[in-house]
Amino acid sequence: MIQASSEQPLQTRRRFVAYFSGIGLSSTLLPGVLWAKLQEKPTPAITLDMVKDAARLAGLDFTTEECEMLVDDVNKNLTRFETMRQTHLDNSVPPPLYFNPLVAGMTVDRTKRPFRPSKSPVVSRPANLEDVAFWPLTHLAQLIRTRQVRSVDLTEMYLGRLKRFNPKLNCLVTLTDDRAMNQARQADSDIAAGRYRGPVHGIPWGAKDIIAAKGYPTTWGAEPLKDQVINHDATVVERLDQAGAVLVAKLTTGELAFGDNWFGGRTNNPWNSEEGSSGSSAGSAAATAAGLVGFAIGTDTGGSILSPSLRCGVVSLRPTFGRVSRYGVMAAGFSLDKIGPMCRMVEDCAIVLHAIAGPDGKDLSVPHDVPFNWEAAQEVSKLRVGYFGEGFENEKREEWKANGLRSLDALRLIGFDLRRVELPTNDLNYFIEYIERSAGFDEFARARKDEHLRRQRHRAELRYSHLVPAVEYLQANRIRMLLMQQVAHVMSDVDVVVATYESINPLTSMTGHPVVAVPNGFTTNGTPTGITFVGQIYKEAELLAVARAYQNATDFHTKHPPLGSVA
């Protein structure tokens, strides 16, 4: 290295003066300053002070000397990050790390058996077809199967109700009326020719608007994406197409699957339009409760099927993680997202799950050898039912608490010997979810598209998890495994646990257990209350059987919201 010294030859110094003059530095600078400039190293992007701050953020007690050892490697990682960001990663690209809700010691029934729903009910078409708007799927199916009602007629009726009541509920993003009428006509043609496909054939349904339907916007509830069109059908849409169902609407979702506010405003509760419908499967719950669809499909990452169902008084099933393919559905949490039916009766959920469940070769979290076997006539008295006592005792909403305790009494009257169980509590679900959301929406946030979100808190929710060390995310998932083992141990003694929603959510979302929400009463202001049933992993059949026994012993599902006359 050339050393700055007064003994250097004059011509060498003149060359450096000429060089620095050429890059814009004055030739009148003292020679010593020029030599100092020559020896300066570029300032690293990540400095020692930054490493110290990052260590403190990670809770690491490093000395200055220890932090100095990290500076070069951290800067190398920064270069790797910049290279990685040059690869386009759509929200739909999952990591090759697939969450498995099974823990050691669990047994799963892998024998496929015939699907056996209840005996078809005896039904007659009413003089006014709109009187069937609130009928359960089983009854609507019988009208279609016996050709008392055409799918075209049923579809036109629900399309009309969607148009009429949406101004009050704000639950509709896009009517898929052209597609719906084509599907309804095809259903009528097939049924007339003796090609009846089963109980969802010809039944109008609605999809939460993070579920892709080819040719229609899939907005994710967000203003920056309101014109987004995903040019393929989600697997759940394909499955329902194959079963002959009729897609009539894309229903509202909270912005990026958060809450009940979307770019078009708030989705309202049909029982009280001054309240929101909760979220983020807001439109699916509201439309089902208001009799605007035969059933709907929602998604759930940390309660987004269950919460709006309880608020709006409908029955819903959040299946075991991995039961239904998520291909074509916005990713909110790669290891947490689930897709499930939102209906008016428990058996309706079994029917829809049967149509949509199973592997598709695209979502690799869905196992190939775990069938859903529904036997409506199974003997429920042999099933072991527990209840999470602490959850009922700690319920702060007095009317919800009272209705929950009455639900336990009703289950005892049915004949269940309820066993008190204790479940762990933990809120790691949302910690893990927001980190996975930050990854899924990384490009969205870096492009500052989040500046146009309706709820600006989302900007922080999509960004602050970038500051979480990767080690802490992995440690959270290791703690998650411990929680999974604890819950599995509790559930090994019972088939189903009855609980309040707040006491088992988001715990069961994180562990992957299936949950059913069922209405169980009303508050003094006329809005519904509800209760949840938790089942063992991949044992939705037993779970639904217990929930169905409870629903059959009550009549809350027969009540309908006072929508009034809307022009």
Which listed residue (52, 208, 250, 539) is catalytic? 208
Q: Which residues of 110-139 are buried (b: 16+ CB within 10 A; e: fewer)?
A: eeeeebebeeeeebeeeeeeeebbbbbbbb
Q: ∠ CA(535), CA(538), CA(539), 5° rounding?
A: 50
**Distance (Å) of CA 349 to CA 340, 353, 365:** 8, 6, 21
163 is catalytic: no
CA nearest to 34, candidates 9, 14, 51:
14
Q: What is the Cα–Cα distance from 117 to 324, expressed in whole angstroms?
A: 20
CA nearest to 344, candidates 565, 560, 117:
560
Which listed residue (280, 281, 438, 509) is catalytic? 280
Q: What is the Cα–Cα distance from 94 to 91, expressed in whole angstroms?
A: 8
Beta strand spans in 238-291 (E): 246-251, 261-262, 265-266, 268-269, 272-276
26 is catalytic: no
Which listed residue (277, 278, 281, 304) is catalytic? 304
User: CB-hemisphere CA count at 13 Å for 391?
Assistant: 25
**Distance (Å) of CA 236 to CA 117, 138, 286, 297:** 21, 20, 20, 9
CA nearest to 142, candidates 196, 205, 207, 206:
196
280 is catalytic: yes
H-helix or E-strand spanning residue 289: helix 282-289
Q: How many residues appear in the chain?
A: 567
CA nearest to 459, candidates 254, 255, 210:
255
Torsion angle (degrees, nearest 10) of CA 13, 18, 24, 30: 30
According to DSSP H, which parts of 85-147 are helical? Answer: 137-145
H-helix or E-strand spanning residue 75: helix 64-84
Task: Look up residue 4 and give its DSSP letter.
Answer: P
Residues annotated catalytic, as ranges = 208, 280, 304
